[in-house]
Structure 1
Amino acid sequence: MKATADSDFKPRITAVICLPDMFTSEICLYRSEEYYQSFVTESRSEKGASALIKDRSLAAEWGLILPANVQELGITLEESGSEDRDEWFTGERWYYGQVL
């Protein structure tokens, strides 16, 4: 985040913690605001839903101390559009960094 502070290019930089499968967690540079919003906007369709987590903080639950320039945003995910129930998924994504 410090590396882009004085740059004309302002990507959104986040660390994403995925639960329950932490293996899919990642560091993300979103090059456009529209692309970033497609991940963090609440939605509902026949294939699933996503919703903001407003009543919890993963940082508080894990005892993390976030630097002043790092924000937290949690999203629940439900994916159930496939006919194969083995592909259905319920989980959370927690975004840290330039998220608000």
Structure 2
Amino acid sequence: MRQLAVSDKKLRGIPRRLRSLKKWSESYISNFPTIADEDYSYGYWNVKIPVHFSLVQGKQTSRNIQSYCAQMLINAAYDLYQSKPADKDEIRVTCSIVLPDMFSSELCLFTSEEYFNMHTQPGNNIFGQLSLLHGRSLVKDFNLELPKGFAESGILRACENDEGEIYLSEHWYIGEVNKK
């Protein structure tokens, strides 16, 4: 279950929360969503990472915990990829791991190539100024396992917040990210 942190109290039950995340990830084995075409808004369907905010972000988390959570997102995406029906080949299965705001990470299905490109191609659009992250790899940095048939693409987003300040975030797309 997704939960925001409303206090600075120490997060309890971390091993239980990680087991729950693993169970969630495994729930996608042979379980491709049966979603009507009209339920994909803008050619996109997503499920946010179902964890407590403090588990993946802030002073209470660690690189090991974040790495485990990222791997569970990748595993869920791969399970979806494996269970994707043959007639749904146009759908791209990915996960998006966002840093430093890992609580924004999600499992994604893109049904529109145009919308996928808006997320992953350099340039200016509604998401801000996007540029490729060259010379880095989240898979290597977090010691993640990249399943066969999957690739990664790192995007640096620079966008303006409500106060007019520029905010930078990394969006790592892992899954079916190569050109079709």
Interval of TM-score (by shorter of Structure 1 and Structure 2): 0.7 to 0.9
In the alignment, is residue 50 of structure 1 matched against residue 130 of structure 2? yes
Q: Which has the higher strand share?
A: 1
- Please list, as runs of the form range in 1=range in 2, the aligned pairs for 1:1-100 lying within 5 A after superposition: 1-4=81-84, 6-10=85-89, 11-44=91-124, 48-80=128-160, 84-85=163-164, 88-100=166-178
Q: Provide TM-score, normalisation by structure 2.
A: 0.49
State the one-letter code of the partner of 2:96: V
Number of aligned residues? 96
Tell me what 2:46 maps to: none
Normalised TM-score (structure 1):
0.85
The structure that is helix-richer by fraction is 2
Aligned AA (2:168): T
Structure 1 residue ranges (4+ consecutive) displaced by more than 3 angstroms after TM superposition: none
Q: Secondary structure in 1 aligned to 2:83? A: helix
In 1, distance between residues paired with 2:129 and 2:170?
11
Point out where structure 1 has 5 or more consecutive residues left out of the alignment. Answer: none
Larger Rg: 2
Q: Which has the higher contact order (CA 8 A, sep 6+)?
A: 1
Root-mean-square deviation over aligned CA pairs: 1.9
Q: State percent identity of aligned pairs.
A: 34
**Cα distance between partner residues in 2 of 1:9 and 1:83:** 39
SS of residue in 1 equivalent to 2:149: coil
